[in-house]
Amino acid sequence: MPRIEIDGQELEVSAGTTIMEAATQLGIYIPFFCYHPKLSVAANCRMCLVDVEKQAKPLPACATPASDGMKISTSSRRARMAQQGVLEFLLINHPLDCPICDQGGECPLQDVTMGYANPHSLYTEEKRVVEDKDIGPLIATEMTRCIQCTRCVRFGQEIGGIMELGATGRGEKMAIGTYVGRAVRSELSGNMIDLCPVGALTSKPFRYRARSWELKHTPSLCPHCSTGCSTDVQSLGREVLRVTPRINEAVNEEWICDRGRFAYAGLGASDRITRPLLRVNGRLQEVSWAEALDAAAAGLEQVLAENGPDSVSGVISPQSTNEELFLFQGLLRGLGVQAIEHRLRQTDFRADAAMPLYPALNMSLEHLEGESLVFLCHAYPREQQPLTNHRLRKSVLAGGQVWAVDSVRREFNYPVHGLVAEAGQDAALYRTLARCVQGLAEEDGAGLPAEVLEAACALRDAADPLLLVGSGVLQHPGAAGLMAAIAELAEAAGARVGWLAEAANSAGAWLLGCVPGRLPGGVPAGTDSRPPAGGAWDARFRAWILMGVEPGLDAMAAVQARQSLADARFVLTISAFLGEAEAYADVVLPMAVWAESAGSYFNNEGRLQSFRAAVKASGEARPAWKILRVLADHLQVADLAFDDLDSVRSAWETRLGDFPLDVPAFGGFPEGLALMEGAGSPGEGCRILGDWSIYQGDPLVRRSVPLQQPAGCRLHPETAARQGLRDGDMVELQGPGGQGTQLPLALDAGVAPGAIWLSLGHPGTQALGGVGATVVLARAGVSAGAQA
Amino acid sequence: MLSEASLAEIARERAKYPPERARSALLAALRIAQAEHGYLPETLVEYVAGLLELPAIQAFEVATFYSMYDLRPVGKYKFCVCGSVSCFLNGSDGILAHLQERLGVGLGETTPDGLFTIAEVECLGACKDAPVMQLGDRYVETLTPESLDVLIGQLRGGRDDVR
Amino acid sequence: MYVNGVTLRNRGLPDSHRIGVYRQTGGYGALAKVLQGPMSPDQIISEMKLSALRGRGGAGFPTGLKWSFMPKGVAGTKYLLCNADEGEPGTCKDRDIMRYEPHRLIEGMIIGAYAMGARSGYIYIRGEFVEPIRTVEAAIDEAYAAGLLGERILGTDFSFDLAVHRGAGAYICGEETALMESLEGKKGQPRFKPPFPASYGLYGQPTTINNVETFASVPDIVLHGGEWFLKLGKPNNGGTKIFSVTGHVRNPGNFEVPMGTPFRDLLGMAGGLHPGRRLKAVIPGGTSTAMVAGDAMMELAMDYDSISKAGSALGAGSVIVIDDSVCIVRVVERIARFYMHESCGQCTPCREGMGWLWRVLHRIENGQGREPDLDLLQNVGSRIEGRTICALADGGVAPVVSSLRLFPEEYEHHIRQGSCLVTDSRSVA
Ligand SMILES: Cc1cc2nc3c(=O)[nH]c(=O)nc-3n(C[C@H](O)[C@H](O)[C@H](O)COP(=O)(O)O)c2cc1C
Ligand code: SF4
Ligand code: SF4
Ligand code: FES
Ligand code: FES
C-alpha cells in the first residue's frame, strides 16, 4: 500500500491508484479534460500535469500510478506553469464563441480557463477551422471547438459498444467524425454530449433553446423502461428543454439511453390535449371539466346498469405510477369491474397462474455485471432496457458469456451467441435445449444443430447460469407454452431465472393489482376473474376505460382492439395525447404527462423510486391520480378520497405490505398446456415476427420527432428470393382483415426462413395482425437500387 | 470489390497474426486494395473493414492517418519527392520546382492525361542518396533536373522499369 | 581502425543478401554456437551487457539491460520486435543493413528471441521501403527453408516465427509503442508508459523491441564475446556504429566506425565539405537532436557520452552537415514542418505547438517576423518540452531552440531586414 503526499496531505492508497484518483480521495482538484473515471486513460490532453518530487518532468496525474513515497504538488510553480502552458495550447485554436455556445455555463474548458489561463495569449496566427459534420438528428457538432480529448471516441468503443465516432487524420489535422458523415445510431449516443468537455458535441433538439444557467433542474426518473434510470429534467417555464442523467451508481451509473434523453421532445406534440373533450353529435368538442366528468360518470353508469360490470374493461399503461395504478384498480374494482389489464402486448393468458408476484430481475443490476453465463430468453435488452443491457455487456467484457435465444437474430453491442428458433418453433427450441441439458451424458444429440448442442453444453457446464425472460416471451402468441418450456429448461439446467420487465412500472402494475385475478400484493381476486380469451379487447366488453394507452399502436392485438373500441357503447380515454382516441372515445380527460406529475415506480429490481413534477401541466390537464380520485367521487366509489399523493402512497404501501424482492420466477402451469406453435406455412404467406423498436414503444417516445425512424420489414434472403423480392424493394403486405400496407424491405439472414420481421407500433404494421399472424406479400414498387 | 488475387494476398497477410487479431492485417489490406484500385474510395475502405470485421470508422481512421494511402485518385506515376532536411540541403526544392514546370501541374496535382502526380513527402530514409523520390515500388536517387527529364520521357514512352 | 566490419561487413559482396553468401562468411555461426554450444539465455544476456551495446534506434539504452527486463515464466506469447521504421530525417542506415545484410538482422533476432523466450516476432519496416521489404521477406523465406526459423530450430526445442509488418507512412510509428499500435492495425499513436513494453507490449504481452542495427550487432557479439565488442569502442559506448553522413558533404554515405571516432575523421570519409565551403553546423544524431556549431563539432568524438556532453545527442548516428551556403532559418523551418506533419496529434502541446512553431518560423523565413518572435519560439518550445507522451515533441523543439542559441544573428537579420543573411547558392533549379 503506497503512502504518498499530495500538497502536503498524506494518504495511503491501494496499489495501482493513480495520482488523480488519490487526489480525488483527498478532495484536491486537478484540472483535466480527457480523463473520465468510466473510460480508459488516454493521457492525451496533458491538462492534469502535476509536479512530482525528484521527477525531471511534470507527470499526468490521470495516468501516473502513485508509488510509495511520492511527493506530489498540484499547484507548485512548476505544476502551474505546465497546466497554464497546456491550457494556452488548447485555447489557441479554440473559437472564442462562448456567448453563442450551448455548452456555455457548463463547460469544463471555460471553467478551467477562468482558473488557470494566462490572460494574454501570445498566439497571433490564424485559428484553425474544422469542417462540421451532420451526424444525425440528435447530436449537433461544432468541430472547430473540439479539443481532441477523444472521450467521445472512447465512449463509443468502451461503453456504447459500437464504434461510430473516430478521430481521423493526424497531427493538427486530427478531427472527430463518423464514417463519411454517417448518422450515429447507438442507442447510447447522447451520453457523448455529456462527456464532451466543450461545445463540440451538443444536443441538437436543445440547440439554442436556452442558456444552461436559466434552466431549472428537477431530479426525476426515466419512464421508458424497467431499469428506472435517474434523470435530471431541465426546464424553462412550462417547457422541458433537456433531460440528462443523474449519477446513480446502483442503477444507471451516469448514463441514460437516447430514448430517455430525447423522448421529452414528444411533450409538445400537436395532438397534446389540454382541455376535456366530449363527443357531441359524433364529434369531439372541448368542454369544461365538470361537463366531461359528468358525461364520463353517466356513460359508465349506463353501461354498468344495462350490461353489468363484466361488460367493462379497464386498460392502464404500465408506465403509470404506483399511485395511478393503485387508484385505477381501486376505482374499477369499486365498480365491480374485474377486467383490469396493463399487458397490452400479451395475447396468451393461459399461464397467468404461473406468473410471479411481479416480473423481478431477482438480483441487483450491479450483480448482473458479475454473471458468467446468461441466457437471454426472447429478450432484447439492448433496445428494451438499454442500461440493463450495459451491465450484461460489462459481464461479457469481464469474460462472461451471453446467449440469446430468440425467434430472430438481434444485433447486440457485445459478442453474443445467438440461437434462432425456426419459424414458429420457439417453445420447441427451449424444450430441445432442456432435453439436451438433461440427457447429454447418455445421448449424443445426433441430428441437432451444433449451436444447440453448444448452448446445451454451456448451460450444463456452467456453475450458476442465469436465464433472463424477456418481453418476447409474453408477446408470443403461445406465451404460456413458451414460459412452461423455459421453466423446464431452468429446472433442467439448475438455472436461476429473472424477468426483464417490459415497461417502466410493469412491476408496480403486478404488485398493485392491475391484472385480472390479482389484487394489490398479489392476493387472488377470486376464480371468475381470469381474462376472457380475447383479453382486454374481448367482444364481451361494451365499455372501456383507457388510461395512457393507444391500443391501436400499443396493443399486440391492435386489429381486434380497434374493432372492439369502434363497436363500443362507451369509451372513456384518460390521456395526454388525442391520437387514435379521436376515432372512438366518447369522453377524453386530459392528463398531465410524465414531467408534469409526480409519483413512484418499482423498477426491475423491485427498487422503489419516486419523482416530482418538473413543470406545470399543460392547459387544463390534471395529474392522472387526481382525475381517478375525482372520477371515484363522481361514481361514488368509496375509500379513494385521498387529499394528496402522499396519502395515496401510504394507502398502497399499507395494502401491499412487505414483499420479497426476489420471488419465484414461475408458479404452477396448468396441465396439458398446448404449445400453440407451427401456424402458418411459408407457402401461403409469412409468419409475423416483430417488436416495438426502442423509439416506438409508448405514446411519448413515438411523438419525439428526432427519434423517429421509419417502419420497415425484414426477410431472410431465401424467403425474399422465393417471392421475387430484393433488398430495398417496397413490399405490399396484406393482413387478415385485408388491410394493406407498404414497407421497405431489408434482407436479413437473422430472420427465420418463412417469417417476416416487422417494426411494430406503426399504424401500418399494427393493422396486420400481430406476432404469429400470417401476411401475404407482394412487390409494390421497384427500388432505385433494383433499377440500376 | 477485390480480385481473387488481392483477396488471397490479404488472406496471407491475415495469417501472419494470431487468429483473434484480424485487425493487425488492416494496414496491409488497405494497401492491397489501393494497389488494385489505384486509390481508396470510401466504399472500398468500408469493404476492407468488412473483410476484417471491423467498424468502417476504424479503417477510415487508419486510412487517413498514414500518408501512403490515397483517398483521392492519383496519376499512374506518383512522384513522391522528399523535402526533408538532407534532401532539402541537396536541392529538393529545385527538383520540385522543375517537376512542376515540366509537368505543368502543382504539388498534389495530377496531369490531365492521368499519368503523373507530384507530391512532396517527408524523409524517405535514403538521405545519403539525396535528393530522393519514391516512385511506386522503388526509389529514384540523386535526382537532377536532367535525370528527371530522362525519366519522364521514358515513363511517357510506356517504360516503367526505369531506375 | 575497424571500419564497416560488423553490421555492414558483407555490403560489398555480390549477393550479400542471400543466405549462401552469409553462411560462407560465417553467418548463422553465432546461432549455432548459442543453440548447440549451448549457451544459456542468461549467458547471452550477460555477454550483451558486457558488450556495452547501446540501442541504435536513437535512445541509446543498453541492450543487455533491456533484454534482462523481459519477464520469465509468464503465460502467453512473448514477442520480439525489430524497429525498421527508419524515418527520422538524416537516418538511412537500417535500409542498407536490410538491403545487404538481412540475414545478420534475422540471426540477431533469433538469438534475441532465444535469450528472452520470445515465440513470435515481427520486423516493422516502413512501407516506403518496398525493395528492402522484399529482400528481408526473401531472406526470411530462406531462413525458414533452412530450418533456422519456425518449429524446432536446428533440431532443438526452440521455436520462433518471424514475419514482416509493413508500415504505411508515418514517422511516429518508429516510436516503440506507436509501432505496437500500428502492428495491431491501429493508428500509430504512442502509449503512455508505464506500463512498459516488457510487461505490456504487443497485444498486451511482454515485448522487447530493438533497432535493426542493434540486432545486426548481436551475432558478432555472441561469436567473439562481449569483451571484444566493447573494446572496439569505448567504455559504456561499446562497438562500432553506423553513421549516416548526409547534407553538405561531397560523398555522403553510411560509415561504420568505432565509437569515439573523431568527427573530423568521419567528415573526411564522407569526402569533406564542398570546395570553398565553411562548416556552419552539424546535427549529430538526426533532426531530433540539437544542432552543434561547426567549430565545436570538429573537436568532438562520435560516441553517446561525448556528444551529450556537448549538449546534443548521438541519436541514431545521423550526421547532417550544414555548410555556410544555406540560411539556418530555412533549414529549421523545414525541420519544423516535418514535426508538424508527423505529430500523431494526441498530445495537446505537440498537436498545437508543432504547428505554432512552424507558423512562426515560416513567417520569419518569409520576412514577416516580428521582434518578439524569438522569445515566442523559446516560450512555445519550453511549454512543449517534457510535457508530452512521447519524445517526438521534444525532438521537434531541439533544433529550434538550439539554432536560436547558436545563430541568433541569422534570425534577427530575417526579422529586421526581411531576408536571409546568407543567400542559398546551392539550390539546383
Ligand atoms: C518519434 C520517435 C521516432 C522513433 N523512430 C525510430 C525509428 O525509426 N527506428 C528506431 O529504431 N527507433 C526509433 N525510435 C526509438 C524507439 O522508440 C526505440 O527506442 C527503439 O526502437 C529501441 O531500440 P534500440 O534500443 O535498439 O535502440 C523513435 C523514437 C521516437 C520517440
Ligand atoms: S468532440 Fe468533444 S469529446 Fe470528442 S474529442 Fe472533441 S472535445 Fe473531446
Ligand atoms: S508527443 Fe506528439 S507524436 Fe508523441 S504522442 Fe504526443 S502528439 Fe503524438
Ligand atoms: S486528464 Fe490527464 S492527460 Fe488529460
Ligand atoms: S531527408 Fe530525404 S530521404 Fe531523408
pLDDT, one tens digit per residue, over A625-661 is: 999 999 999 999 999 999 999 999 999 999 999 999 9
Same domain, A645 and A690: no
Same domain, B38 and B87: no
For residue B40, the chain A residues in CB contact (below 8 A) are none
State the CATH number of the domain containing residue B142: 3.40.30.10
Same domain, A601 and A525: yes
Cβ of C26 less than 6 Å from ligand 3 = no
Same domain, A467 and A520: no
Is A77 touching C (CB cutoff 8 A)? no
Tally of structural domains, chain B: 2
Q: What is the pLDDT at residue A1?
A: 87
State the CATH number of the domain containing residue A607: 3.40.50.740
Same domain, B82 and B151: yes
pLDDT, one tens digit per residue, over A564-619 is: 999 999 999 999 999 999 999 999 999 999 999 999 999 999 999 999 999 999 99
Domain assignment of residue A80, yes or no: no
Domain assignment of residue B70, yes or no: no
Domain assignment of residue A738, yes or no: yes
Host domain of residue A751: 686-787
Same domain, A587 and A449: no
Same domain, A518 and A639: yes
Domain assignment of residue B144, yes or no: yes
Ligand 3 centroid to residue C120 C-alpha, Å:
28
Cβ of A245 less than 6 Å from ligand 4 = no
ipTM of the complex: 0.96
Domain assignment of residue B161, yes or no: no
Task: Determine the residue among A122, A128, A198 to mutate to test chain C binding: the one whose Cβ has the most chain C Cβ atoms within 10 Å.
Answer: A122
C-alpha A62/C-alpha A55 separation (Å) is: 16
Residue A163 and residue B58: Cβ atoms within 8 Å? Answer: yes
CA distance A388 to chain C (A): 30
C-alpha A57/C-alpha C101 separation (Å) is: 40
Last-in-domain residue among B43, B65, B87 = B65
Q: What is the pLDDT at residue C319?
A: 98
Same domain, B121 and B91: yes
Same domain, B53 and B30: yes
Same domain, B81 and B151: yes
Q: Which residue of B94, B95, B123 is in closest CB contact with C88?
A: B123
Same domain, A695 and A647: no
Domain assignment of residue A143, yes or no: no
Same domain, B60 and B121: no
Is A129 touching C (CB cutoff 8 A)? no
pTM of this structure: 0.95
Domain assignment of residue A116, yes or no: no
Ligand 3 centroid to residue C311 C-alpha, Å:
23
pLDDT, one tens digit per residue, over C233-257 is: 999 999 999 999 999 999 999 999 9
Same domain, B21 and B54: yes
Dihedral through CA A465, CA A470, CA A476, CA A481, nearest 10?
30
C-alpha A363/C-alpha A660 separation (Å) is: 11
Same domain, B47 and B82: no
Same domain, A462 and A593: no
Same domain, B40 and B109: no
Same domain, B23 and B60: yes
For residue B16, the chain C residues in CB contact (below 8 A) are 122, 163, 165
Is C318 touching B (CB cutoff 8 A)? yes
C-alpha A552/C-alpha A565 separation (Å) is: 9
Please identify which residue in the block is written with the cell numbers 513470435: C120
pLDDT, one tens digit per residue, over C308-354 is: 999 999 999 999 999 999 999 999 999 999 999 999 999 999 999 99
pLDDT, one tens digit per residue, over C201-239 is: 999 999 999 999 999 999 999 999 999 999 999 999 999
C-alpha C107/C-alpha C43 separation (Å) is: 17
Same domain, A406 and A540: no
Q: Residue A518: is it exposed, middle or buried by C-beta count within 10 angstroms (0-12/13-18/19+)?
A: buried
Please identify which residue in the block is written with the cell numbers 527486463: C69
Q: What is the pLDDT at residue B54?
A: 97
Same domain, A434 and A484: yes
Domain assignment of residue B60, yes or no: yes
- Indicate the range of B9-18, C59-68, C334-343, C415-424 predicted with least confidence: C415-424
Domain assignment of residue A649, yes or no: yes
Q: What is the pLDDT at residue B136?
A: 95
Segments of chain A scoring below 70 in pLDDT: 440-446, 527-529, 676-684, 737-739, 781-788
Cβ of C389 less than 6 Å from ligand 3 = yes
Contacts of A488 (CB under 8 A, 6+ apart): A430, A431, A434
Counting atoms of ligand 3 from 1, which one is nearest the CA of C175?
Answer: 4
Phi, psi of B3 (to 5 degrees): -70, 165
pLDDT, one tens digit per residue, over B124-147 is: 999 999 999 999 999 999 999 999
Strand, coil or helix: what is C215? helix
Host domain of residue B150: 77-156
Q: Which residue of C192, C343, C359 is in closest CB contact with A125?
A: C359
Is C255 touching B (CB cutoff 8 A)? no
State the distance between the two ends of chain A, measured CA to CA, in whole angstroms: 68
**Beta strand pairing status for A339-341 and A312-316?**
parallel
For residue B58, the chain A residues in CB contact (below 8 A) are 163, 166
Domain assignment of residue B11, yes or no: yes
Same domain, A624 and A598: yes
Last-in-domain residue among B65, B92, B108 = B65
Domain assignment of residue A131, yes or no: no
The H or E element that residue C71 is part of is: none
Same domain, A513 and A493: no
Residue B84 and residue C334: Cβ atoms within 8 Å? Answer: yes
Tally of structural domains, chain A: 4
For residue A82, the chain C residues in CB contact (below 8 A) are 387
Last-in-domain residue among A435, A464, A499 = A499
**Beta strand pairing status for A774-781 and B77-82?**
unpaired
Ligand 5 centroid to residue B74 C-alpha, Å:
23
Same domain, B55 and B91: no
Q: Which residue of B16, B61, B85 is in closest CB contact with C187?
A: B61
Strand, coil or helix: what is A284? strand
Last-in-domain residue among A499, A516, A539 = A499
Q: Report whether C125 contacts C134 (CB < 8 A).
A: no
Confidence of residue B95 (pLDDT cuts 50, 70, 90): very high
State the CATH number of the domain containing residue B42: 1.10.10
Is C272 touching A (CB cutoff 8 A)? no
Cβ of A176 less than 6 Å from ligand 2 = yes
Last-in-domain residue among B39, B65, B91 = B65
Instruction: State the chains in contact with C (3 or more Cβ–Cβ pairs under 8 Å).
Output: A, B
Same domain, B23 and B52: yes
Strand, coil or helix: what is C284? strand
Q: Among the bound ligands, name the one nearest to the CA of residue A18.
A: 4
State the CATH number of the domain containing residue A729: 2.40.40.20
Q: Which residue of B has its CA nearest to C162?
A: B16
Domain assignment of residue B163, yes or no: no
Same domain, A652 and A512: yes
Which of B17-23's residues contact partners 24+ apart within 8 Å by CB, and which partners? Answer: B18/C77, B18/C203, B21/C184, B21/C185, B21/C203, B22/B52, B22/B53, B22/B54, B22/C185, B23/B52, B23/B54, B23/B58, B23/C184, B23/C185, B23/C186
